[in-house]
A and B are shown apart, each in its own frame.
Chain A
Amino acid sequence: MTTTEEVARLSHERREYKYGFVTDIEQEFAPPGLDESTVRFISAKKGEPEWLLEWRLKALAKWQEMEEPTWVFLPYGHPPIDYQALSYYAAPKQSPKSLDEVDPKILETYEKLGIPLSETRALLGIEGGPETPAEARRGVAVDAVFDSVSVKTTFQEELKKAGVIFCSISEAVREHPELVRQYLGSVVPYSDNFFATLNSAVFSDGSFVYVPRGVKCPMELSTYFRINARNTGQFERTLIIADEGAEVSYLEGCTAPMRDENQLHAAVVELVAMKGASIKYSTIQNWYPGDETGKGGIYNFVTKRGICKGDDSRISWTQVETGSAITWKYPSVVLQGDRSKGEFYSVALTNLRQQADTGTKMIHIGRDTKSTIVSKGISAGEGQNTYRGLVQMNKGAHRAHNFTQCDSILIGDKCGAHTFPYVDIRNATATAEHEASTTKLAEDQLFYCTARGISNEDAISLLVNGFCKEVFSELPMEFAVEANKLLAVSLEGSVG
């Protein structure tokens, strides 16, 4: 539990959205606007092979025919996005060869964010809590993405020894083109949806992970995304492949400066789990949420999908979504292999005038596949929080099973909590269970706490933490601690 004093201190920092600073470094931009020349510019900047350029151009052509979808449930709506006013590429001027060459200002940025790139320690999210004992901090390899490019990936040597490839996707295109070419777009095709197609055309950087057959990745892998430049979108692309019997756990975190205008973040994440492989993907999303009048903040329109390609494989998504003006994403699992498992654990918090329409899709194709969905929505302030999910059992999904639980709590009478699940069953032996509830915090529980001398704020924090426990327990330990704090801080001020 995070105490009131701690919350007060942290929230003071948050009031200015602690990560809202701008790093003043020399950056290189693509001119605003999007057409073929933009795509060629990005591709040339990165020295990409011809096939990738062609792929991007195909995506661009497709995107130009597409219309922005409107089915998302946003009670406050959002002003239209002018795709021609954005710059699709921003990068620090000097590209570093080693840590010593990374612009010290960038290192400083990541230090401020609590993401040291110096390989001495690693932690993500909010700092300020008591120092965690060093031994509790396992090494976490970090890939830091600053606007459009990856500035540094740590622990590469150590990972190499285990045979794990962990690098920026640009580097992977150069060093392991055969892998990238085989898997890029294999889970989220370039034509998938408006934002994924846009990403396919202009994606700048992101992380690439390949864990070879039978290897258990020796440390947590992590990417830290930072938007710095003004009027840019961030379009990163992450590709993770776990070969037969491999295991990997991957964490992702995000922040951005505070600005009055909205910024677009349209990422694509693809996961491929081969036979018996296991991928765990955790996200703590803390993009700038805008202010209490709904001004500014990030549009977080992301496509995340994994495929359990082989039998007995497993993909697990865990997300803690507290930031962004609008969150619109559905991390999904295609359960192709027999007996494969998909999991989705989510905490989504909307405060201020944030809007979230998030959930998951579980597509059961193989026999005896199982999926679990646990979604916790918290609405406070004027936040609007929507769970939307699909559970589909195809004809061949014999004895497939799904369990879904989505619970929402409302704090205050100006917010909204909505649940829109879709269940589509085409096999008589498949079973699906869906449960959902929406309530306010239990008064008797609050009373119980306050009767024992716990302040009202602390009691709420305690109950909300209890409400989210099922999800937090899925997070790697360091992340869970951070998630707890983040939640307490994000909730601060929402209690009248």
Chain B
Amino acid sequence: MTNLMDKPVSMLDVPVPAGPAWLEAYRSRARSRFPGFPTLRDEAWRYTNITPILETPFQPAISAARDVSADDVQHVRVPELDSSLLVFVNGRYRADLSDADELGKGVVSLPLHEAVRSHAELLEEHLGTASGEHEDPFTTLNDAMVSDGLFVHVSDGARPDRPIEVLSIATRTAEPVASHPRNLVVVGKEARATVLEHYVTLDDDAVYLNNAVTELIAAPSATVEHYLLERESERAFNISTLAIRQAAESVVHSHTVLLGGRIVRNNVTPVLAGERAHCLINGLYVGHREQHLDNAMRVRHAAPQCESRQYYKGIMNDRSRGVFTGRIVVDKIAQKTDAIQSNRNMLLSDDARVNARPQLEIYADDVRCTHGATTGRVDDEAVFYFMSRGLSEPVARAMLVYAFAAEGFDRMELVPVRRLLAAEMIDKLPMARGLSIEV
């Protein structure tokens, strides 16, 4: 890693609102251990060149250049989803646009900057406990800049009556804005929660950076479902890290869909730290034009008898590039691990490119770990089958591509999210507009 670039280091010097002493100490520790930004020589970043990010002169989150109305919010949030909504515009919390009512007994859900005042102890106790497991320079950068985001605390046995949606809206600004959202979700014993991170833009040409870190801490027998819907501007940058720590018998489902962004990096790093925990990582990345979508998974089995499932799919068109790195690490202690990882990619253009690195790192002997990775195009025989039943070739191909994409939707529990994604797919996939699809 290099420290030569002045700008990134200056990014660390951007002022953030002063916080309590413990938070200042947390930020300053991060500043001092920041290793510099990764280059292609770093194994973890060898397929993603972040020079365009480093060359952009970012400003800290400022007030929006154009106002965002309640109508705009309605337009971009997940339709028909009855959620508790926290709205951030260009990184700033907007209470006036949010709809974060009480979610029921034992549930706290509020912007992080408020939690710093009202729930300092909980925050101090948990912040950094999940993200410290596998550190990435961008996570450290986020640590150094922690100021706002979402804080959720669900007490033992409690269950919010609605999903919590964090809607990050980006608009065109005079200077590119860099935001470092920080979300902390702590779910108690036998409690449940559903959290949606949703990144959208109102201006397709907006240039900005979202460097988000979400920590998800699941107590014994907790059940958590997490969604990341990334629909950034295609000139924007998004680095999202989901760090998960699971106690015994907890169940976590993570669903990620990458649709927008110029350079996107999606890190998911669960640690199965208690016996019989279960983790599902479900993802889809769909690129076109010059998009670069990079997914880095690291599932660590640190306790016996846990189960993990990874299903990631990519569809790359035009000159886009998809990257998948998935590692399963099984500690010596994690006997009876059952881990599956699957990565499937479809190339729709000769200029598209896919890099897949499915990896296993195993130190326990009584395990069952498999991974598979495939890359190809639409199966000609399947196209032929459809055509023999009277469909035109373009429609047959469009249906097959759509079906490939949609497979993962069924694993999602929120039906409105599935519907939104179906519409997005039809919008983005070539020749899919003619399809009529019901979800």
Contacts and interface: CB of A to CB of B under 8 A. Distances in A.
Interface stretch (A129-137, A228-236, A407-415): A407-415
Interface stretch (A58-66, A170-178, A184-192, A432-440): A432-440
Interface stretch (A105-113, A205-213, A282-290, A422-430): A422-430
B355 A424 contact: yes
Given A432-B375, A434-B373, A439-B368, A427 B355 contact: no
A413 B370 CA distance: 19
5 contacts: A416-B361, A419-B358, A434-B374, A436-B358, A436-B360
Contacts of A414: 332
A425 B345 contact: yes
Given A429-B377, A440-B367, 14 more contacts: A71-B43, A413-B365, A414-B332, A418-B361, A419-B359, A419-B361, A423-B357, A427-B347, A428-B347, A431-B375, A432-B373, A434-B371, A434-B374, A438-B362
B365 A440 contact: yes
Interface in A372-407: 395
B324 to A, nearest CB: 9
9 smallest CB-CB distances across A and B, nearest first, come from A410-B365, A431-B376, A428-B347, A423-B356, A419-B360, A434-B373, A437-B370, A425-B375, A438-B369
A428 B358 CA distance: 20
Contacts of B350: 395, 426-429
A432 B335 CA distance: 31
A421 interface: yes
B362 A425 contact: no
A432 B347 CA distance: 12
Interface in B318-359: 332, 335, 345, 347-350, 352-359
Interface in A419-462: 419-440
A417 interface: yes
A413 B330 CA distance: 12
A428 B352 contact: yes
B370 A430 contact: no
Nearest to A439: B368
A418 B362 contact: yes
B97 interface: no
A415 B363 CA distance: 6
Interface in A193-250: none
Nearest to B373: A434
Nearest to A75: B363
B366 interface: yes
A195 to B, nearest CB: 19
Contact of A416 (B335, B347, B357, B363): B363
Nearest to B41: A71
B372 interface: yes
Contacts of B361: 416, 418-419
Using C-beta atoms within 8 Å of the partner chain, give the interface range for chain B. Answer: 20 to 34
Interface of B: 43, 332, 335, 345, 347-350, 352-377
Nearest to A401: B376
Nearest to B329: A418
A439 B345 contact: no
A217 B363 CA distance: 45
Interface size range of chain A in the complex: 20 to 34
A423 B325 CA distance: 10
Contacts of B335: 413
Nearest to B348: A428
Contacts of A416: 361-363
B362 A417 contact: yes
A416 B330 CA distance: 9
A421 B376 contact: no
B326 to A, nearest CB: 11
Contacts of B370: 435-438
A423 B365 contact: no
B353 A423 contact: no
A341 to B, nearest CB: 19
Contacts of A432: 356, 373-376
A420 to B, nearest CB: 5
Contacts of B349: 428
Given A419-B360, A423-B357, A427-B350, A439 B375 contact: no
B316 to A, nearest CB: 9
Contacts of A418: 359-362
A483 B359 CA distance: 28
Contacts of A422: 355-357
Interface in A2-48: none
B372 A413 contact: no
Contacts of A415: 363, 365
A420 B373 contact: no
Nearest to B330: A438
Nearest to A437: B370
B285 to A, nearest CB: 15
A440 B345 CA distance: 30
A439 B369 contact: yes
Contacts of B372: 433-436
A430 B360 CA distance: 25
Given A413-B332, A427-B350, A434-B372, A421 B358 contact: yes
A408 B362 contact: yes
A431 B365 CA distance: 32
A351 to B, nearest CB: 14
A425 B357 contact: no
Contacts of B364: 410, 413
Contacts of B354: 423-425
Nearest to A426: B353
A422 B354 CA distance: 10
A440 B365 CA distance: 6
Given A425-B353, A428-B347, A438 B360 contact: yes
Contacts of B362: 408, 410, 416-418, 438
A418 B357 CA distance: 13
Contacts of A435: 370-372
A28 to B, nearest CB: 43
B358 A434 contact: yes
A221 B146 CA distance: 66
A411 B362 CA distance: 12
A277 to B, nearest CB: 29
Contacts of B359: 418-421
Given A419-B371, A436-B371, A439-B368, A425 B347 contact: yes
